[in-house]
Amino acid sequence: MAVPGGFVSGVRLPWQPKKPCAHPGCGALVEGRYCPAHERERQKAVDAARPTASERGYGSRWQKARATFLQRHPLCAECERVGRVTAASVVDHVVPHKGDQRLFWDTSNWQPLCTTCHGRKTATQDSGFARRRPRPQG
């Protein structure tokens, strides 16, 4: 089923024309929003504006707590739910803490995940993309 923007399951449909790059003055025709050069520029600006990991609370104290948690919980919780055995490499906050230090350090809000499951969770639940998705009506 086609959706606005000409994407079906994340793939651009062939009948959709390319559009000019969204960067002012760039006439490159692209399938996405920016040409590769301006996408790199945009990402650098986003990264530069973001606080460092340490400034976001992921400093040495977190690294120690994370290592201890992963020693005690070595398997990905999500993979275990579906019968797979995968080593966990990420300590995920089940409920995003959004800077709330009480929630950040609440170990009952932590779960061990593999990189794949963490990326999937972040993209579908925590990211800007997830927040922009229309909610089902009903």
Alpha carbon distances (Å) from 66 to 40, 54, 73: 31, 14, 10
Give the pLDDT of the chain (138 residues) as one tens digit per residue.
445 555 556 666 667 789 999 999 998 999 889 999 999 999 999 888 988 888 888 899 999 999 999 999 999 999 999 999 999 999 999 998 888 999 999 999 999 999 999 999 988 886 665 555 554 554
Q: What is the DSSP letter of 73?
A: -
Sequence-separated contacts (24+) of 103-108 with Cβ below 8 Å? 104/57, 105/65, 107/69
Which among 26, 28, 29, 32 has a CA at the least distance from the CA of 6? 32
- pTM passes above 0.85: no
Q: Positive or negative CA dihedral for 117, 127, 132, 20?
A: negative
